[in-house]
Structure formats: C-alpha cells, structure tokens
C-alpha cells in the first residue's frame, strides 16, 4: 500500500516507518519541519501541519492508508481543542483524497471510567476520526516499554535515583504494559487484516502488573536494589507530577498527564485482535532489558568516518516519549501510548 504516517518524528512513528518499509509498503511521512527529520531511504517526506488545513492540500493524494499518531502532551487549557482541531483537519483531508483506511493509536481505559483529561481527549480524537469517510481501526495501549518512552524513562529514573518512594494509592492499580516492538507489529499487521476495519482493539503484553511491580521488576532488570514503595492516600497526582519532574528529567508538563493517566486500571478486556493479527508478545522483563540495551547502544559514541575521532552519538527519533509526547501535528502517541 501507499501509506502516510503522521508523527514520524516521534517514539512510535519513528519505529513504525522502517517497519512499514520492511513490509514492502510505500511510505510518505507528514512532518511540520522536514529539516528536523532524517528519513530512512525510500521515504517520501511532505511538509504539513495538522493545525493548518491549507498545508494539507495534496498531502494525502494517492494514499491508501494513513496512521494518526499525534497527540498534545502540553499542559494548558487549550490542549483538547488543539487535539480536536488536528483530528478534524486530518479526517477532512483524508476523506477528500479518498483514503481507504486510517489507523489510530489511542490509550487503554474503560469508557465508563473517570478518565484523566488527556485520556478523555484521546477518546474524543477517536470519535472525531470515526466520523471520516474511510474505515477506522483503533488500537488502544497502556504503558509502552521502549527506549524513548516518557513513561518508561520515568520508571527507569525513579528506580535509579530513589531507594524509597512515597507514592499515591494508584501504585496498586493494574496495568498491562506492552513492548514497543509489539505495538509496531500490531500497527503494521492491521493493514493486512481487512477484518479489523472499523474495529477498536486493546493491545497489551502478556503480563498484567501493578505499577509497584513494574518498578520492582525494572529494578531487577537494572541490577539495582528493589525500591521500597510506600503508598499514602494524601499524595495527589498533581503533587506527584511535581515530584517526578523534580527527581527525573521528564518535564513536569509531560509528567502531569502521565501521572493523572495512571489513576485508572488499564488492562485489555477483549483480546480479539489476536483473531486478526498474530504477534509473539514480549514478556515485560524481556521488554525492559531490550529497552535498556537499546538505550545503552544509543548513548555509546561511534567512530567518525576516519575511525579515529569523536563522533556524534547514535540517537532515536526526536520525541518526548510515548505516543503523543510532542506537539500536535508533528510527534505522536502512546499512549506512553497512549499513556503518553
């Protein structure tokens, strides 16, 4: 297929693009600033901003399927309106061009739950996209484990820096984290599964864990002392966000929606996606080890062309983290999935 990817500079999109190429799809990346994007060979890059509908003219021409991987992680009262506007502009442009399929990565959580503001915005984006003149496939994920995920970076740095943690009560909530490779495999897989058209599916790894267990098992993978995690009823998500912003390098503006999103249990209740897409799910401990190894490789200096001088460090696509950890119109989910 000829496939368009929004959020190609982000955590999920940056890994999805090469996977689509490997699956023999033709890929076009829609980015606000092509100068900030170093695409893989064979990727067509077009300039466009989802908040500027005129910039989308021609961007979807000839496209069969399009991925919507952008969310606003910014704090402020206007984030929901920005997400809403971006989704409407995307849906209108895709419909005019005759796009057949749209794939959206959102966040897990029951619709009846008292969802966080950012997760509720994910749901609204989903509803807006569903109004478009195409078949919409929605995948919902919880915490995405991988190098570059803000959620995982937050967990890793807390484990590294704090032997004792005082946390809100949500530390005992259940979560079903999923490896980034499994998210990408699911996104690519639905393109070849026509039965997923107009369907909504939860995706998660094989382990259901509390956030406390995630912290402890990440410590094991890092060969660090297991943290003592103490939950108290008086610590609010708002205070926790300031605390995380102080202790880690995750900005408070990003930590706040991540923390607020953790108040809801996020577990897959319907795994019917397995009837359509076969993915060998990665256990949590293995996903953490893989993420740590990739981070170490990305941080390691590499030789320059002559092999005898300093070199730039290897990096991952620019992102604040998980699905939606960047400005709308340029960078994605997750989700941190969608927890992002």
Q: How far apart, in Å, are the Cα atoms of 231 and each of 151, 158, 172, 316?
A: 19, 15, 8, 34
Residue 22 maps to a domain: yes
Task: Tell me the pLDDT tens digit for each residue of 170-218.
Answer: 788 889 999 999 999 999 999 999 999 999 999 999 999 988 899 999 9
* Largest CA-CA distance found in the chain, in angstroms, rounded: 60
What pLDDT shows up at residue 126?
94
Q: Which two three-digit tokens encode residue 33?
A: 């600033």
Residue 302 confidence (pLDDT) above 50: yes
CA distance 159 to 46: 40
Average pLDDT score over the chain: 83
Say which CATH number the domain at 274 has. Answer: 3.40.50.720
Band (pLDDT 50/70/90 cuts) for residue 156 is confident
Residue 267, class by beta-carbon neighbours within 10 Å (0-12 exposed, 13-18 middle, 19+ buried)? middle
Task: Tell me the pLDDT tens digit for each residue of 28-52.
Answer: 999 999 999 999 999 999 999 999 9
What pLDDT shows up at residue 245?
74
What pLDDT shows up at residue 325?
33
Residue 312 confidence (pLDDT) above 60: no
**β-bridge partners, 228:** 164
For 329: left if phi > 0, alpha if psi spans -120 to 50, otherwise beta; the answer is left
* Contact indicator for 323, 105 with CB cutoff of 8 Å: yes
Residue 302 maps to a domain: no
Residue 320 maps to a domain: no
Q: Rounded to an integer, what is the distance from CA 138 to the centroid of its chain?
A: 13
CB atoms within 10 A of CB 165: 18
Task: Tell me the pLDDT tens digit for each residue of 214-228.
Answer: 999 999 999 988 888
**Structural domains of the chain, count:** 1
| Residue 31 dihedral angles phi and psi, to the nearest 5° | -135, 155
CA distance 229 to 88: 43
Residue 307 maps to a domain: no
Domain extent, residue 272, equals: 2-295
Helix axes 284-299, 150-161, angle to 10 degrees: 90
CA distance 128 to 106: 13
The DSSP line for 236-282 is -HHHHHHHHHHHSSS-HHHHHHHHHHTTS-B--S--GGGGT----PP
Band (pLDDT 50/70/90 cuts) for residue 330 is very low
314 versus 287: which is more confidently predicted?
287
* Contact indicator for 332, 11 with CB cutoff of 8 Å: yes
Residue 177 maps to a domain: yes
Helix axes 150-161, 237-247, angle to 10 degrees: 70
Residue 322 maps to a domain: no
Band (pLDDT 50/70/90 cuts) for residue 248 is confident
CA distance 7 to 72: 11
CA distance 239 to 245: 10
Band (pLDDT 50/70/90 cuts) for residue 56 is very high
Residue 313 maps to a domain: no
Average the pLDDT over 296-306 and give the result.
65
Task: Tell me the pLDDT tens digit for each residue of 84-141.
Answer: 999 999 999 999 999 999 999 998 876 655 677 778 888 899 999 999 999 999 999 9
The whole model's pTM is what?
A: 0.85
Residue 308 maps to a domain: no
């Amino acid at each position: 297929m000829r496939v368009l990817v929004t959020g190609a500079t982000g955590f999920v999109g940056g890994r999805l693009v090469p996977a689509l190429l490997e699956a023999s799809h033709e890929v076009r990346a829609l980015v606000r600033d092509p100068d900030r994007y170093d695409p893989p060979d064979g990727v067509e890059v077009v300039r466009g901003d989802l908040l500027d509908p005129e910039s989308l003219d021609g961007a979807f021409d000839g496209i069969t399927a399009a991925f919507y991987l952008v969310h606003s992680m910014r704090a402020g009262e206007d984030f929901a309106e920005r997400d809403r506007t971006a989704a409407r502009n995307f849906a209108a442009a895709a419909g005019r061009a005759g796009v057949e399929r749209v794939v959206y990565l959102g966040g897990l959580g029951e619709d009846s739950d008292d969802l966080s503001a950012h997760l509720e915005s994910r749901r609204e984006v989903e509803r807006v996209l569903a109004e478009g003149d195409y078949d919409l496939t929605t995948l919902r994920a919880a915490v995405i484990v991988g190098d570059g995920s803000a959620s995982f970076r937050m967990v890793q740095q807390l484990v590294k820096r704090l032997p004792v943690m005082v946390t809100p009560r949500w530390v005992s909530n259940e979560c079903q984290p999923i490896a980034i490779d499994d998210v990408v495999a699911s996104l690519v897989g639905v393109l070849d599964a026509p039965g997923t058209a107009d369907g909504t599916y939860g995706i998660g790894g094989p382990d259901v864990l509390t956030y406390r267990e995630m912290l402890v098992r990440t410590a094991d993978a890092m060969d660090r002392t297991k943290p003592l995690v103490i939950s108290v009823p008086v610590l609010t998500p708002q205070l926790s966000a300031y605390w995380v912003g102080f202790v880690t390098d995750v900005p408070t503006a990003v930590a706040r929606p991540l923390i607020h999103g953790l108040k809801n249990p996020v577990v897959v209740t319907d795994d019917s996606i397995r009837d359509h897409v076969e993915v060998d799910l990665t256990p949590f401990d293995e996903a953490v080890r893989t993420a740590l190894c990739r981070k170490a490789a990305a941080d390691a200096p590499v030789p320059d062309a002559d092999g005898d001088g300093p070199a730039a460090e290897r990096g991952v696509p620019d992102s604040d983290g998980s699905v939606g950890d960047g400005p709308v119109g340029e960078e994605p989910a997750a989700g941190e999935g969608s927890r992002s």
